[in-house]
């Protein structure tokens, strides 16, 4: 007898044959109908139990959460809600589950409650759907780059360069915190630490990816990234995954074209391959939005939003144009923004990004050519001497989803920049080498994987799109 996943059974039902399935009990109704799920699809398989045929002791063990093996003949179902069902002939229990203490009851739980039970929340329809979409999205990302001539590059996780400047870092050390070796001036002596210097968890693989793009041409990273930023928002994690393509011979326009094509492509993949999960998540989102005031509800359903992104060109405007729009906007004039936009050079806050995307353009927006002062040292300086070839992609409901730039390839300009910022050039010796030996224009960007999963699934909080979230004061599990 063949063992099937529930997805296989439903895709091509071997009708009137004896089949075997394994899974967890979602519900057991009237001592007769078991809804079994094995994670292979959002759908359950109904198993019909003739209770006279089974031992009472066995039936008592069948409760929500229990793991079972069931075999029987697959037949067409006469009942509503399913096309086929299994007429159970044999049932064995892998593991029982005490119905009174099992936290995942067949009812609605709050997201906060489920976060506290992150080891069990994958047994809910919502989390299983989100995680299947997450998995499909990673596949689509690899497929896109592999199809387009990129090589998967594994950036180091432990980094010795502290010049990335992308945020606060987590120190990696084996020194005894109670009794660290000290230098003559009383500082911690990292020469005696494991690596003989200060090291941290990486905040970005970009600098290393640049080195590899200068030999392999086109590379991309897809790995974990760590930021010790104490920002308790619905869009920040302390440990998140980032995709960072880096391309030799690409200028900023090539970079924006790639980012837009890439995003559209991976979203199309989800629309084509995650139909059932997206339909479920769409309904979940609709239900959730009904609890919100009218003005905060979104105008489009989840799949409409995804299709909209695929079908429409992203708006591209310069930072300078954006500042003009914001300066003259209603919330700025009526002093509704927390941070008012008065002059050129102001850093854009998430309220401004969301105004541009959600109110003004109602479309994904690529902002480019930012003031040098508010962007990282490695971005290429424009002719005007005050803006750099940076680009951020802003998405509805999310804000910044991509940050990228054309990199500064000119050694003299980069040296000046580093000196002006007081960065120790010795720290960056190898990065500067790249500008000495066969330098070339090049560009890249970083896509926050979880922010993309958030957009694709309509989940409001980034903590609910990664299996075990790490945030300030929280590293349970």
- One of 23, 403, 444, 469 touching ligand ATP (CB under 6 A): 403
Asked whether position 444 contacts ligand ATP by CB under 6 A, the answer is no
Tell me the DSSP string of 29-77.
ETTTEEEEE-SSSS--EEEE--GGGS-HHHHHH--TT-EEEEEEEEEE-
Q: How far is the CB of 32 from ligand ATP (least distance, A)?
A: 47
What residues pair up with 35 in beta bridges, in sequence order? 27, 46
Compute the radius of gyration of the chain from its Cα atoms. Answer: 27
Asked whether position 242 contacts ligand ATP by CB under 6 A, the answer is yes
**Considering only residues 208-227, where is the footprint of ligand ATP by CB under 6 A?**
227
**Considering only residues 148-187, where is the footprint of ligand ATP by CB under 6 A?**
166-167
In this chain, which stretch among 52-60, 264-272, 400-408, 418-426 interacts with ligand ATP, using CB under 6 A?
Answer: 400-408
Asked whether position 448 contacts ligand ATP by CB under 6 A, the answer is yes
Q: How far is the CB of 111 from ligand ATP (least distance, A)?
A: 17
If binding means CB under 6 A, how many residues of this protein chain bind ligand ATP?
16
CA dist., res. 83 & res. 45, Å (int): 9
User: Closest CB to ligand ATP among 136 and 242?
Assistant: 242
User: Closest CB to ligand ATP among 42 and 466?
Assistant: 466
CA dist., res. 151 & res. 398, Å (int): 29
Residue 192 per-residue DSSP state: G
Residue 382 per-residue DSSP state: P
Q: How far is the CB of 259 from ligand ATP (least distance, A)?
A: 11
User: Closest CB to ligand ATP among 72 and 458?
Assistant: 458
CA dist., res. 10 & res. 310, Å (int): 30
CA dist., res. 188 & res. 166, Å (int): 24
Q: How far is the CB of 282 from ligand ATP (least distance, A)?
A: 23
The beta-strand segments (E) located in 64-136 are 67-76, 84-95
User: Closest CB to ligand ATP among 23 and 364?
Assistant: 364
CA dist., res. 37 & res. 123, Å (int): 9
Site string for ligand ATP, 48-77 (x = CB under 6 A): ------------------------------
- One of 38, 251, 288, 400 touching ligand ATP (CB under 6 A): 400
Tell me the DSSP string of 441-468.
-EEEEEEEHHHHHHHHHT-S-GGGSSSS
User: Closest CB to ligand ATP among 19 and 130?
Assistant: 130
CA atoms within 13 A on the CB side of 366: 26
- One of 25, 172, 357, 402 touching ligand ATP (CB under 6 A): 402
CA dist., res. 247 & res. 214, Å (int): 8
User: Closest CB to ligand ATP among 250 and 449?
Assistant: 449
> Residue numbers of the site for ligand ATP (CB under 6 A)?
166-167, 227, 229, 236-237, 240, 242, 400-403, 446, 448, 450-451
């Amino acid at each position: 007898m063949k063992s099937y996943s529930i997805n296989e059974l439903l895709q091509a039902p071997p009708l009137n044959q004896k089949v075997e399935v394994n899974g967890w009990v979602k519900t057991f109704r009237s001592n007769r109908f078991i809804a079994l799920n094995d994670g292979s699809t959002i759908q359950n398989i109904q198993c019909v139990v003739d209770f006279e045929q089974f031992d009472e002791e066995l039936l008592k063990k069948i409760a929500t959460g229990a793991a079972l093996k069931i075999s029987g003949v697959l037949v067409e179902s006469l009942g509503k809600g399913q096309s086929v069902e299994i007429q159970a002939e044999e049932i064995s229990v892998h593991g029982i589950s005490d119905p009174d203490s099992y936290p995942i009851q067949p009812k609605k739980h709050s997201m906060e409650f489920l976060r506290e039970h992150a080891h069990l929340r994958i047994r809910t329809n919502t989390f299983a759907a989100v995680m299947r979409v997450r998995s499909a999205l990673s596949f689509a990302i690899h497929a896109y780059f592999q199809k387009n001539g990129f090589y998967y590059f594994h950036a180091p996780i432990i980094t010795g360069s502290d010049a990335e400047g992308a945020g606060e870092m987590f120190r990696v050390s084996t020194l005894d915190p109670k009794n660290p070796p000290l230098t003559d001036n009383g500082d911690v002596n990292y020469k005696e630490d494991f690596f003989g210097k200060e090291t941290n968890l990486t905040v970005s693989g970009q600098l290393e990816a640049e080195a590899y793009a200068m030999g392999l041409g086109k590379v991309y990273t897809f790995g974990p990234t760590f930021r010790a930023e104490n920002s308790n928002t619905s869009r920040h994690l302390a440990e998140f995954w980032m995709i960072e393509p880096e391309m030799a011979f690409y200028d900023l326009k090539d970079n924006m074209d790639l980012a837009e094509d890439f995003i559209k492509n991976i979203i199309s993949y989800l629309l084509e391959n995650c139909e059932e999960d997206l339909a479920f998540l769409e309904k979940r989102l609709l239900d959730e939005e009904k609890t919100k005031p009218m003005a905060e509800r979104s105008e489009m359903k989840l799949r409409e939003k995804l299709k909209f992104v695929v079908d429409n060109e992203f708006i591209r405007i310069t930072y300078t144009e954006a500042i003009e729009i914001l300066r003259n906007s209603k919330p700025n004039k009526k002093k509704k923004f927390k941070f008012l936009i008065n002059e050129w050079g102001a850093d854009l806050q998430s309220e401004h990004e969301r105004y541009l995307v959600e109110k003004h353009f109602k479309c994904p927006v690529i902002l480019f050519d930012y003031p040098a002062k508010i962007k990282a040292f490695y971005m290429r300086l424009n002719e005007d001497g005050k803006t750099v070839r940076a680009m951020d992609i802003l998405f509805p409901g999310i804000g910044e989803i991509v940050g990228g730039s054309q990199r500064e390839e000119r050694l003299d300009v980069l040296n000046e920049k580093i000196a002006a910022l007081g960065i120790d050039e010795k720290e960056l010796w190898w990065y500067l080498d790249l500008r000495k030996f066969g330098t070339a224009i090049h560009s890249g960007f970083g896509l926050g994987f979880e922010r993309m999963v958030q957009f694709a699934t309509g989940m409001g909080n980034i903590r609910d799109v990664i299996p075990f979230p790490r945030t300030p004061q929280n590293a349970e599990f």
